[in-house]
Amino acid sequence: MTQDPLVASAIAHWGPRFTVNGVTVADFERVTAGVEQWSDWCVAWVEAGDAHEQLGREALAEGRSRSAGEHLAQAAVYHHFGKFVFVEDLEQMRAAHTRAVACLDDALPHLDPPGRRVEMPFERSWLVGILRLPEGEGPHPVVVLLPGLDSTKEELRSTEETFLARGLATFAIDGPGQGEAEYDLPIRGDWAPVAEVLWETLGEIPGIDRDRLGVWGVSLGGYYSPRVAAALGDRAKACVSLAGPFDFGDCWPGLPQLTRDTFRVRSGAETDDEARAIAHTLSMTDVAADLVAPLLIVFGRQDRLIPWRNAERLRDAVAGPVEVLMLEDGNHGCANVAPWHRPRTADWLAAHLTTPPPTDTKDGS
């Protein structure tokens, strides 16, 4: 079978991301081997998600709630990967997304620890977050998790687990242009209004200590996380940027066509040129100096989407203390080398949110 270039591109750029975030290796190989045309991508993943969803529904009916939560959360990831960059058929994409949201919502009470859905009014629409509290008596430090251009809160279970195990609450959200908000709110460069909504919301949630707030983001979320931290100023106690662009427009020529098409749709642009112009509004240039919280930048030297030099630009522009973890073999998001950064990132956030921060220094290693 000869796969069309878009299918081959999706597999080449994002394969390790699928398996590190909840898709079994066997399912990934089986599903992708059976997809010849890009037009078949979404339905193939939804069919795979159906199988796991059925396991979850059966477990619920039999009273096996823990298994139900595990199966349904996994099904949500499969449905999500059906829609993640499938913008050629928006109706089919949205149907798959609806399935992903429903599966995760049904899984939340049965996860360990459980989660709950939090809806936040924002401008003319809503932002939705998933809150999970670790074991033990609170109030707990909290990490806000920000997905990227084509990821959503449904994809972040394995990342949440790393933080929860270290006593940190997690609050994974879909921001403007992401997930549940992508249909009403276009992608935006200015996340200061989002930061304020997050701050107010976290202050109203029992069990959360928003004065020990960290922000983590991956890919385009690795741009949003320092934007949020910059907007919050000294209210943010730590920030992690994983594979984030300094100026997304500068990365445009090297992006896969699937990524460019997805950004065009979710930014509300009509043409590729208009989308690139909007991408340039996603820039840290004018706000990086406002970032005073300790910052950990994680990057892969082999990133083919966001060149690693973006890590140096952000390091040199912010006002606060900086550490850089550069992984020589890391791809975009460093999904192929997750053991080399996920535990270390979680340890770093736990240290900054549970103990006094270190003396302000810049480490450009």
Annotated catalytic sites, by residue? 219
- Give me the helices (H) in 84-119, please: 90-107
List CB contacts of 126: < 8 A, sequence separation 6 or more: 119, 120, 180, 181, 184
How many whole angstroms separate alpha carbon 85 and alpha carbon 266?
Answer: 10
DSSP helix/strand/coil, 238: strand
- Contact (Cβ atoms closer than 8 angstroms) between residue 140 and residue 208: yes
Nearest to 278 by CA among 266, 290, 292: 266
- Contact (Cβ atoms closer than 8 angstroms) between residue 158 and residue 183: no
DSSP secondary structure string, 260-273? HHHHHHHHT-SSHH
- Contact (Cβ atoms closer than 8 angstroms) between residue 238 and residue 263: no
| Cα–Cα distance list, 331 to 145, 162, 270, 306, 346 (Å) | 20, 20, 30, 9, 20
List CB contacts of 332: < 8 A, sequence separation 6 or more: 13, 14, 219, 243, 300, 303, 304, 305, 306
DSSP helix/strand/coil, 255: coil
Nearest to 294 by CA among 274, 254, 272, 321: 321
Which tokens in the block code for residue 241?
């940027």
Which tokens in the block code for residue 121?
């009014």
Nearest to 24 by CA among 70, 92, 67: 70
How many whole angstroms separate alpha carbon 213 and alpha carbon 205?
Answer: 13
